[in-house]
Amino acid sequence: MKRVRVGHKMHFALRVIGVCGHLPSKAELARWVGPYRSLRYGYKIIDRCLSAGLLALDPYHPGRSHNGLGAVVLTDAGRRRLEDAKHG
């Protein structure tokens, strides 16, 4: 498995989802992780997490927003990354 370099903002996005369980949309997470609540940079950070397989969009999640692509949830790889950071 290819190891992906995770910066502090990507790790923060994983921690937010790890604590909350899920967020209804990418926009809501982008507001949390973007510097100064910037949606543009927040989306870049989330897209990096999605392409690395650390986060996923679940269109069938009961907590999703009704007009979005789905709820943002942790994948197994993202959960392992959080556990490794906690114990490492």
Reported as a single tens digit per residue, the pLDDT across 38-77 is 999 999 999 999 999 999 999 999 989 888 889 999 999 9
pLDDT tens digits, 26-47: 999 999 999 898 999 999 999 9
Sorted by sequence, the CB contacts under 8 Å of residue 31 that are 6+ apart come out as 37, 39, 42
Architecture of domain 8-87: Orthogonal Bundle (1.10)
pTM for this predicted structure:
0.89
Domain ranges of the chain: 8-87
Phi, psi torsion values for 39, nearest 5 degrees:
-65, -40
Q: Vertex 40, ends 2 and 34: CA angle to 5°?
A: 75
